[in-house]
Amino acid sequence: MHNRGVNRLRHYGETIFATMSALAAETGSINLGQGAPDFPAPRVVLEEAQHQIAIGNNQYAPGRGTMELRSAITDERARRTGQHFDPRTECLVTVGATEAIAAAVIGLVEPGERVVIVEPYYDSYEAAISLAGARRTTVALRPDARGNWRLDPTEIRNAIMGRGEDDRAAMIIINSPHNPTGAILSAEELSAIAAAARDAGALVLSDEVYERLVFDGASHHSISESAGMRERTIVASSAGKTFNITGWKTGWALAPEPLIEAILRAKQFMTYAGAAPMQPAVTVGLNECDGGVGRLRDTLQLNRDALVNGLRDLGAEVCDPHAGYFAVADVSSWNLGDAPQAVHTLAYEAGVVGIPVTAFVDDPGNPIFSSLVRFSFCKDRGAVEEALRRLDAYLRR
Ligand code: PMP
Ligand code: GLN
Protein backbone atom coordinates (compact mmCIF):
# COMPACT_ATOMS: atom_id res chain seq x y z
CA MET A 1 0.00 0.00 0.00
CA HIS A 2 1.26 3.45 -0.86
CA ASN A 3 0.35 6.04 1.70
CA ARG A 4 1.33 9.44 0.38
CA GLY A 5 0.31 11.21 3.53
CA VAL A 6 -2.88 12.95 4.54
CA ASN A 7 -4.73 15.09 2.01
CA ARG A 8 -4.64 18.22 4.10
CA LEU A 9 -0.82 18.30 4.09
CA ARG A 10 -0.05 16.70 0.73
CA HIS A 11 0.41 19.97 -1.16
CA TYR A 12 3.25 21.11 1.08
CA GLY A 13 6.77 20.76 -0.28
CA GLU A 14 9.95 21.83 1.45
CA THR A 15 9.66 25.28 3.06
CA ILE A 16 10.83 28.24 1.00
CA PHE A 17 13.54 28.93 3.61
CA ALA A 18 15.10 25.48 3.19
CA THR A 19 14.88 25.68 -0.61
CA MET A 20 16.47 29.11 -0.78
CA SER A 21 19.26 28.30 1.70
CA ALA A 22 20.09 25.22 -0.42
CA LEU A 23 20.08 27.39 -3.55
CA ALA A 24 22.46 29.84 -1.87
CA ALA A 25 24.82 27.00 -0.95
CA GLU A 26 24.63 25.48 -4.43
CA THR A 27 25.35 28.76 -6.20
CA GLY A 28 27.85 30.18 -3.70
CA SER A 29 25.50 33.12 -3.24
CA ILE A 30 25.31 35.58 -0.41
CA ASN A 31 22.29 34.37 1.50
CA LEU A 32 19.94 37.27 2.20
CA GLY A 33 17.10 34.74 2.28
CA GLN A 34 16.41 32.94 5.54
CA GLY A 35 16.23 35.25 8.57
CA ALA A 36 19.12 33.63 10.42
CA PRO A 37 21.27 36.34 12.02
CA ASP A 38 25.04 36.56 11.56
CA PHE A 39 25.39 38.28 14.94
CA PRO A 40 26.57 36.55 18.15
CA ALA A 41 24.34 35.97 21.17
CA PRO A 42 25.15 37.85 24.40
CA ARG A 43 28.15 36.17 26.04
CA VAL A 44 26.41 35.62 29.39
CA VAL A 45 23.60 33.79 27.64
CA LEU A 46 26.00 31.44 25.85
CA GLU A 47 28.01 30.85 29.02
CA GLU A 48 24.90 30.02 31.01
CA ALA A 49 23.80 27.37 28.48
CA GLN A 50 27.27 25.80 28.52
CA HIS A 51 27.31 25.87 32.32
CA GLN A 52 23.87 24.25 32.51
CA ILE A 53 24.93 21.40 30.24
CA ALA A 54 28.17 20.96 32.20
CA ILE A 55 26.39 20.74 35.56
CA GLY A 56 23.96 18.14 34.23
CA ASN A 57 20.76 20.06 33.51
CA ASN A 58 20.08 17.67 30.67
CA GLN A 59 16.77 15.98 31.49
CA TYR A 60 13.21 17.08 30.79
CA ALA A 61 12.28 20.63 31.71
CA PRO A 62 8.82 21.21 33.23
CA GLY A 63 6.17 21.08 30.49
CA ARG A 64 5.15 24.70 30.98
CA GLY A 65 8.79 25.84 31.11
CA THR A 66 10.78 26.62 34.25
CA MET A 67 9.14 29.02 36.69
CA GLU A 68 12.26 31.23 36.49
CA LEU A 69 11.96 31.58 32.70
CA ARG A 70 8.24 32.25 32.84
CA SER A 71 8.84 34.95 35.46
CA ALA A 72 11.64 36.47 33.35
CA ILE A 73 9.28 36.58 30.32
CA THR A 74 6.44 38.25 32.22
CA ASP A 75 8.81 40.62 34.12
CA GLU A 76 10.47 41.80 30.90
CA ARG A 77 7.09 42.46 29.35
CA ALA A 78 5.90 44.37 32.39
CA ARG A 79 9.09 46.51 32.38
CA ARG A 80 8.78 47.32 28.71
CA THR A 81 5.01 47.69 28.28
CA GLY A 82 3.47 47.92 31.75
CA GLN A 83 1.34 44.89 30.90
CA HIS A 84 1.06 42.12 33.51
CA PHE A 85 0.71 38.38 32.95
CA ASP A 86 0.75 35.85 35.78
CA PRO A 87 3.81 33.65 35.16
CA ARG A 88 2.15 30.71 36.93
CA THR A 89 -0.99 30.54 34.80
CA GLU A 90 -0.71 32.91 31.83
CA CYS A 91 2.65 31.99 30.30
CA LEU A 92 3.73 28.86 28.46
CA VAL A 93 7.25 28.19 27.18
CA THR A 94 7.20 26.62 23.71
CA VAL A 95 9.61 25.23 21.12
CA GLY A 96 10.00 28.53 19.31
CA ALA A 97 7.16 30.85 18.44
CA THR A 98 6.39 28.23 15.77
CA GLU A 99 5.12 25.77 18.36
CA ALA A 100 3.17 28.48 20.18
CA ILE A 101 1.43 29.28 16.89
CA ALA A 102 0.71 25.68 15.91
CA ALA A 103 -0.46 24.66 19.39
CA ALA A 104 -2.67 27.77 19.65
CA VAL A 105 -4.40 27.06 16.36
CA ILE A 106 -4.73 23.32 17.03
CA GLY A 107 -5.82 23.83 20.64
CA LEU A 108 -8.29 26.66 20.02
CA VAL A 109 -9.79 26.30 16.53
CA GLU A 110 -12.21 23.50 15.60
CA PRO A 111 -11.85 21.68 12.27
CA GLY A 112 -13.81 23.58 9.63
CA GLU A 113 -13.75 26.90 11.52
CA ARG A 114 -12.41 29.96 9.75
CA VAL A 115 -9.14 31.78 10.53
CA VAL A 116 -8.28 35.18 9.02
CA ILE A 117 -4.64 35.81 8.09
CA VAL A 118 -2.92 38.81 6.55
CA GLU A 119 -0.97 38.53 3.28
CA PRO A 120 1.95 38.31 2.96
CA TYR A 121 1.86 35.77 5.82
CA TYR A 122 4.58 33.86 7.65
CA ASP A 123 4.37 30.38 6.15
CA SER A 124 3.64 28.51 9.38
CA TYR A 125 0.26 30.26 9.92
CA GLU A 126 -1.21 28.76 6.81
CA ALA A 127 0.28 25.35 7.65
CA ALA A 128 -1.00 25.49 11.27
CA ILE A 129 -4.49 26.15 9.92
CA SER A 130 -4.13 23.06 7.69
CA LEU A 131 -2.85 20.98 10.62
CA ALA A 132 -5.97 21.96 12.56
CA GLY A 133 -8.24 21.11 9.61
CA ALA A 134 -9.53 24.68 9.69
CA ARG A 135 -10.15 27.09 6.77
CA ARG A 136 -8.50 30.41 6.01
CA THR A 137 -9.49 33.78 4.61
CA THR A 138 -6.72 36.17 3.60
CA VAL A 139 -6.64 39.97 3.63
CA ALA A 140 -3.83 41.74 1.78
CA LEU A 141 -1.53 44.47 3.01
CA ARG A 142 -1.07 47.15 0.34
CA PRO A 143 1.49 49.92 0.03
CA ASP A 144 -0.02 53.40 0.49
CA ALA A 145 1.06 56.59 -1.26
CA ARG A 146 3.67 57.25 1.43
CA GLY A 147 5.29 53.87 1.00
CA ASN A 148 3.85 52.18 4.09
CA TRP A 149 2.16 48.79 4.03
CA ARG A 150 -1.42 49.20 5.26
CA LEU A 151 -4.53 47.14 5.93
CA ASP A 152 -7.92 48.36 4.76
CA PRO A 153 -10.01 48.49 7.99
CA THR A 154 -13.25 47.68 6.13
CA GLU A 155 -11.72 44.73 4.34
CA ILE A 156 -10.33 43.17 7.51
CA ARG A 157 -13.63 43.71 9.32
CA ASN A 158 -15.57 42.06 6.50
CA ALA A 159 -13.19 39.11 6.50
CA ILE A 160 -13.62 38.64 10.25
CA MET A 161 -17.42 39.05 10.27
CA GLY A 162 -17.93 36.80 7.23
CA ARG A 163 -21.29 36.41 5.52
CA GLY A 164 -23.36 36.19 8.69
CA GLU A 165 -23.75 34.68 12.17
CA ASP A 166 -22.65 31.22 11.07
CA ASP A 167 -19.63 32.44 9.20
CA ARG A 168 -17.76 34.50 11.82
CA ALA A 169 -13.99 33.91 12.04
CA ALA A 170 -12.87 31.87 15.05
CA MET A 171 -9.41 33.45 15.07
CA ILE A 172 -7.41 36.23 13.43
CA ILE A 173 -3.64 35.84 13.20
CA ILE A 174 -1.70 39.10 13.00
CA ASN A 175 2.02 39.77 12.97
CA SER A 176 3.26 43.18 14.03
CA PRO A 177 6.07 44.08 13.56
CA HIS A 178 5.62 42.21 10.30
CA ASN A 179 7.66 39.66 8.44
CA PRO A 180 8.35 40.27 5.54
CA THR A 181 7.49 43.98 5.15
CA GLY A 182 8.76 45.44 8.44
CA ALA A 183 5.38 47.18 8.85
CA ILE A 184 4.01 48.03 12.29
CA LEU A 185 0.22 48.01 12.48
CA SER A 186 -1.12 51.48 13.30
CA ALA A 187 -3.48 52.31 16.18
CA GLU A 188 -6.30 52.63 13.65
CA GLU A 189 -5.60 49.21 12.12
CA LEU A 190 -5.31 47.58 15.55
CA SER A 191 -8.58 49.10 16.71
CA ALA A 192 -10.40 47.95 13.56
CA ILE A 193 -9.16 44.39 14.12
CA ALA A 194 -9.97 44.57 17.84
CA ALA A 195 -13.51 45.84 17.26
CA ALA A 196 -14.26 43.16 14.67
CA ALA A 197 -12.74 40.43 16.86
CA ARG A 198 -14.93 41.51 19.79
CA ASP A 199 -18.05 41.71 17.60
CA ALA A 200 -17.35 38.30 16.05
CA GLY A 201 -16.39 36.70 19.38
CA ALA A 202 -13.07 35.74 17.77
CA LEU A 203 -9.65 35.16 19.30
CA VAL A 204 -6.57 37.04 18.10
CA LEU A 205 -3.21 35.31 17.83
CA SER A 206 -0.64 38.11 17.83
CA ASP A 207 2.82 37.08 16.63
CA GLU A 208 5.25 39.58 18.14
CA VAL A 209 8.63 37.92 17.57
CA TYR A 210 10.15 41.23 16.35
CA GLU A 211 8.64 43.24 19.23
CA ARG A 212 12.01 44.46 20.56
CA LEU A 213 13.65 45.15 17.20
CA VAL A 214 11.79 48.36 16.33
CA PHE A 215 13.69 51.20 14.58
CA ASP A 216 13.78 54.99 14.50
CA GLY A 217 12.34 55.29 18.01
CA ALA A 218 8.99 54.01 16.68
CA SER A 219 6.71 52.17 19.07
CA HIS A 220 4.95 48.88 18.76
CA HIS A 221 1.79 48.19 20.72
CA SER A 222 0.41 44.73 21.25
CA ILE A 223 -3.25 44.33 20.32
CA SER A 224 -3.60 42.62 23.72
CA GLU A 225 -3.29 46.12 25.26
CA SER A 226 -6.40 47.40 23.42
CA ALA A 227 -9.66 47.67 25.35
CA GLY A 228 -11.40 44.33 25.79
CA MET A 229 -8.62 42.42 24.05
CA ARG A 230 -6.55 41.01 26.91
CA GLU A 231 -9.14 38.26 27.43
CA ARG A 232 -9.19 37.16 23.79
CA THR A 233 -5.56 37.56 22.67
CA ILE A 234 -2.73 35.04 22.59
CA VAL A 235 0.68 36.70 22.22
CA ALA A 236 3.35 34.49 20.63
CA SER A 237 6.99 35.53 20.86
CA SER A 238 10.47 34.08 20.93
CA ALA A 239 14.01 34.53 22.21
CA GLY A 240 15.35 33.64 18.76
CA LYS A 241 15.43 37.11 17.22
CA THR A 242 15.97 39.09 20.41
CA PHE A 243 19.18 37.30 21.40
CA ASN A 244 20.43 35.92 18.05
CA ILE A 245 19.66 32.35 19.09
CA THR A 246 17.20 31.24 16.42
CA GLY A 247 18.62 27.71 16.61
CA TRP A 248 17.61 27.34 20.26
CA LYS A 249 13.93 27.32 19.36
CA THR A 250 12.83 28.80 22.66
CA GLY A 251 9.60 30.81 22.49
CA TRP A 252 6.43 31.40 24.47
CA ALA A 253 2.73 32.12 24.52
CA LEU A 254 1.08 34.68 26.84
CA ALA A 255 -2.69 34.57 27.30
CA PRO A 256 -5.42 34.28 29.95
CA GLU A 257 -5.41 30.98 31.86
CA PRO A 258 -8.19 29.16 29.95
CA LEU A 259 -6.49 29.87 26.63
CA ILE A 260 -3.08 28.77 27.95
CA GLU A 261 -4.67 25.53 29.22
CA ALA A 262 -6.10 24.85 25.75
CA ILE A 263 -2.73 25.57 24.08
CA LEU A 264 -0.94 23.36 26.63
CA ARG A 265 -3.28 20.47 25.83
CA ALA A 266 -1.92 20.47 22.27
CA LYS A 267 1.67 21.43 23.13
CA GLN A 268 2.20 18.66 25.68
CA PHE A 269 1.66 16.01 23.01
CA MET A 270 3.66 17.82 20.34
CA THR A 271 6.92 18.18 22.27
CA TYR A 272 5.97 17.86 25.96
CA ALA A 273 8.73 20.33 26.94
CA GLY A 274 11.39 22.58 25.43
CA ALA A 275 15.17 22.01 25.71
CA ALA A 276 16.13 22.22 29.40
CA PRO A 277 19.60 23.87 29.41
CA MET A 278 18.44 26.70 27.15
CA GLN A 279 15.79 27.85 29.60
CA PRO A 280 18.10 29.24 32.33
CA ALA A 281 20.21 30.82 29.59
CA VAL A 282 17.24 32.62 28.04
CA THR A 283 16.27 33.65 31.58
CA VAL A 284 19.65 35.39 31.92
CA GLY A 285 19.10 37.10 28.55
CA LEU A 286 15.70 38.44 29.55
CA ASN A 287 16.84 39.54 33.03
CA GLU A 288 20.24 41.00 32.22
CA CYS A 289 20.65 41.86 28.53
CA ASP A 290 18.36 44.80 27.75
CA GLY A 291 21.45 46.83 26.77
CA GLY A 292 22.58 44.19 24.30
CA VAL A 293 19.13 44.09 22.71
CA GLY A 294 19.32 47.88 22.26
CA ARG A 295 22.71 47.54 20.54
CA LEU A 296 21.37 44.79 18.29
CA ARG A 297 18.46 47.02 17.31
CA ASP A 298 20.87 49.86 16.44
CA THR A 299 23.05 47.53 14.35
CA LEU A 300 20.02 46.22 12.49
CA GLN A 301 18.81 49.76 11.84
CA LEU A 302 22.15 50.71 10.25
CA ASN A 303 22.08 47.53 8.15
CA ARG A 304 18.53 48.33 7.14
CA ASP A 305 19.64 51.75 5.94
CA ALA A 306 22.56 50.30 3.96
CA LEU A 307 20.37 47.65 2.30
CA VAL A 308 17.35 49.85 1.57
CA ASN A 309 19.42 52.75 0.22
CA GLY A 310 21.52 50.37 -1.86
CA LEU A 311 18.46 48.66 -3.37
CA ARG A 312 16.88 52.04 -4.16
CA ASP A 313 20.11 53.16 -5.85
CA LEU A 314 19.76 50.05 -8.03
CA GLY A 315 16.28 51.13 -9.11
CA ALA A 316 14.18 48.87 -6.87
CA GLU A 317 11.18 50.33 -5.04
CA VAL A 318 11.39 49.61 -1.33
CA CYS A 319 8.93 50.55 1.41
CA ASP A 320 10.69 51.54 4.64
CA PRO A 321 10.90 48.61 7.07
CA HIS A 322 10.17 49.98 10.55
CA ALA A 323 11.30 46.87 12.44
CA GLY A 324 12.64 43.35 12.17
CA TYR A 325 14.98 41.63 9.77
CA PHE A 326 13.68 42.23 6.25
CA ALA A 327 13.16 44.67 3.41
CA VAL A 328 10.77 43.95 0.57
CA ALA A 329 11.85 45.24 -2.84
CA ASP A 330 9.77 45.57 -5.99
CA VAL A 331 12.29 44.43 -8.60
CA SER A 332 10.11 44.82 -11.68
CA SER A 333 12.47 47.51 -13.07
CA TRP A 334 15.20 44.86 -13.24
CA ASN A 335 13.22 43.03 -15.97
CA LEU A 336 13.91 39.56 -14.63
CA GLY A 337 10.35 38.22 -14.79
CA ASP A 338 8.16 37.52 -11.77
CA ALA A 339 9.62 37.19 -8.26
CA PRO A 340 10.37 33.43 -8.38
CA GLN A 341 12.10 33.84 -11.75
CA ALA A 342 14.01 36.91 -10.57
CA VAL A 343 15.19 35.11 -7.44
CA HIS A 344 16.55 32.20 -9.48
CA THR A 345 18.29 34.45 -11.99
CA LEU A 346 19.84 36.53 -9.21
CA ALA A 347 21.14 33.39 -7.46
CA TYR A 348 22.73 31.89 -10.57
CA GLU A 349 23.83 35.11 -12.30
CA ALA A 350 24.47 37.66 -9.56
CA GLY A 351 25.31 35.39 -6.59
CA VAL A 352 22.66 36.84 -4.24
CA VAL A 353 19.70 34.98 -2.75
CA GLY A 354 16.45 36.56 -1.56
CA ILE A 355 13.00 35.07 -0.95
CA PRO A 356 10.13 35.60 -3.40
CA VAL A 357 7.26 37.19 -1.44
CA THR A 358 4.93 35.10 -3.63
CA ALA A 359 5.78 32.21 -1.27
CA PHE A 360 3.83 34.02 1.45
CA VAL A 361 0.56 34.63 -0.41
CA ASP A 362 -2.33 32.53 -1.74
CA ASP A 363 -2.14 33.77 -5.34
CA PRO A 364 1.42 34.28 -6.63
CA GLY A 365 -0.08 36.06 -9.67
CA ASN A 366 -1.62 38.80 -7.48
CA PRO A 367 -0.05 41.97 -8.97
CA ILE A 368 0.47 43.50 -5.50
CA PHE A 369 3.01 40.77 -4.72
CA SER A 370 4.14 39.19 -7.98
CA SER A 371 7.40 41.14 -8.36
CA LEU A 372 8.41 41.46 -4.69
CA VAL A 373 11.58 39.94 -3.26
CA ARG A 374 12.42 39.85 0.45
CA PHE A 375 16.04 40.55 1.38
CA SER A 376 17.27 40.04 4.90
CA PHE A 377 19.53 42.54 6.66
CA CYS A 378 20.23 40.52 9.83
CA LYS A 379 23.62 39.80 8.26
CA ASP A 380 27.15 41.13 8.68
CA ARG A 381 27.46 44.56 7.14
CA GLY A 382 30.16 43.17 4.84
CA ALA A 383 27.71 40.59 3.48
CA VAL A 384 25.05 43.23 2.83
CA GLU A 385 27.58 45.46 1.05
CA GLU A 386 28.99 42.60 -1.01
CA ALA A 387 25.46 41.57 -2.03
CA LEU A 388 24.78 45.13 -3.22
CA ARG A 389 28.08 45.18 -5.18
CA ARG A 390 27.16 41.89 -6.83
CA LEU A 391 23.68 43.10 -7.74
CA ASP A 392 25.13 46.32 -9.12
CA ALA A 393 27.70 44.45 -11.25
CA TYR A 394 25.03 42.11 -12.59
CA LEU A 395 22.45 44.81 -13.34
CA ARG A 396 25.07 46.86 -15.26
CA ARG A 397 26.06 43.89 -17.42
N1 PMP B 1 6.88 34.33 13.36
C2 PMP B 1 7.58 35.10 12.54
C3 PMP B 1 6.95 36.31 11.96
C4 PMP B 1 8.90 34.76 12.22
O5 PMP B 1 9.59 35.53 11.39
C6 PMP B 1 9.46 33.60 12.80
C7 PMP B 1 10.84 33.12 12.49
N8 PMP B 1 11.69 33.87 12.06
C9 PMP B 1 8.68 32.84 13.65
C10 PMP B 1 7.39 33.22 13.91
C11 PMP B 1 9.19 31.58 14.26
O12 PMP B 1 9.92 31.82 15.39
P13 PMP B 1 10.75 30.65 16.11
O14 PMP B 1 12.00 30.47 15.33
O15 PMP B 1 10.95 31.12 17.48
O16 PMP B 1 9.90 29.41 16.03
N1 GLN C 1 11.59 33.15 10.31
C2 GLN C 1 12.69 33.03 9.42
C3 GLN C 1 12.41 33.81 8.15
O4 GLN C 1 11.34 34.31 7.95
C5 GLN C 1 12.99 31.62 9.03
C6 GLN C 1 12.37 30.54 9.78
C7 GLN C 1 12.49 29.21 9.10
O8 GLN C 1 13.46 28.93 8.41
N9 GLN C 1 11.51 28.41 9.28
O10 GLN C 1 13.29 33.85 7.35
Residue 1 has a pLDDT of: 63
CA 18–ligand 1 middle distance (angstroms): 14
Question: Which atom of ligand 1 has the smallest separation from the CA of 238?
Answer: 15
Cβ atoms of 90 and 257 closer than 8 Å = yes
Distance 177 CA to ligand 2 centre (A): 15
Predicted confidence at residue 203, as pLDDT, reads 98
Q: Is the CB of 179 under 6 A from ligand 2?
A: yes
**Backbone dihedral region for residue 319 (phi beyond 0: left; psi -120 to 50: alpha; all else: beta):** beta
207 in contact with ligand 1, CB cutoff 6 A: yes
Give the ligand with the smallest distance to the CA of 379.
Answer: 2
Ligand 2 centre distance from Cα of residue 14 (Å): 13
Residue with the nearest Cα to atom 3 of ligand 2? 35
- Ligand 2 centre to CA of 35 (Å) is 5
Confidence (pTM): 0.97
- Which residue in 97, 93, 31, 43 sits closest to 66, CA to CA? 93
33 lines ligand 1 (CB under 6 A): no
Judge residue 162's burial from the number of C-beta atoms within 10 Å of its C-beta, 0-12 exposed, 13-18 middle, 19 or more buried.
Answer: middle
Q: Whose CA is nearest to atom 15 of ligand 1?
A: 96
How are strands ordered across the β-sheet holding 326-330? 317-318, 326-330, 372-376, 355-356
* Cα-to-centroid distance, 99 and ligand 1 (Å): 10
Q: Helices 381-395 and 290-313: crossing angle, nearest 10°? A: 10
261 neighbors 90 (Cβ within 8 angstroms)? no
7-41+291-395 CATH fold: Aspartate Aminotransferase, domain 1 (3.90.1150)
- pLDDT per residue as tens, the chain (397 positions): 678 899 999 889 999 999 999 999 999 999 999 999 999 999 999 999 999 999 999 999 999 999 999 999 999 999 999 999 999 999 999 999 999 999 999 999 999 999 999 999 999 999 999 999 999 999 999 999 888 999 999 999 999 999 999 999 999 999 999 999 999 999 999 999 999 999 999 999 999 999 999 999 998 999 999 999 999 999 999 999 999 999 999 999 999 999 999 999 999 999 999 999 999 999 999 999 999 999 999 999 999 999 999 999 999 999 999 999 999 999 999 999 999 999 999 999 999 999 999 999 999 999 999 999 999 999 999 999 999 999 999 999 8
CA 98 / ligand 1 centre spacing (Å): 6
Q: What does residue 142 show for φ and ψ, rounded to 5 degrees?
A: -135, 145
Residue 180, preceding peptide bond in cis (omega within 30° of 0): yes
Question: Which residue intervals of the chain bear CATH 3.90.1150.10?
Answer: 7-41+291-395
pLDDT of residue 74: 98
Which amino acid appears at position 95 of this protein?
V
Compute the distance from residue 33 Cα to the ligand 2 centre, in Å.
9
Ligand with smallest separation from the Cα of 354 = 2
43-288: what fold?
Aspartate Aminotransferase; domain 2 (3.40.640)
Which of 16, 20, 34, 210 to mutate to test ligand 2, by most ligand atoms within 8 A of the CB atom?
Answer: 34
Ligand 2 atom with minimal separation from the 180 CA? 4
Strand order in the sheet with 114-119: 91-95, 250-254, 233-238, 203-207, 171-175, 114-119, 135-140
Q: Does ligand 2 come within 6 angstroms of the Cβ of 35? A: yes
- Are 183 and 215 contacting, i.e. CB atoms less than 8 angstroms apart? no
Residue 356 Cβ < 6 Å to ligand 1: no
124 pocket-lining for ligand 2 (C-beta < 6 Å):
no
Coil, strand or helix at 92 = strand
Give yes or no for residue 96 CB within 6 A of ligand 1.
yes
Q: Which atom of ligand 1 is nearest to the CA of 95?
A: 16
Q: Which helix (H) or strand (E) holds 299?
A: helix 290-313
Nearest ligand 1 atom to alpha carbon 101: 10
Does ligand 2 have an atom closer than 6 angstroms to the CB of 34?
Answer: yes
CA–centroid distance for 326 within its chain: 11
Q: E-strand spans in 166-323?
A: 171-175, 203-207, 233-238, 250-254, 317-318
Q: Ligand 2: distance of its center to the CA of 180 in Å?
A: 10
Residues of the chain with CATH 3.40.640.10: 43-288
Beta carbon of 179 within 6 Å of any ligand 1 atom:
yes
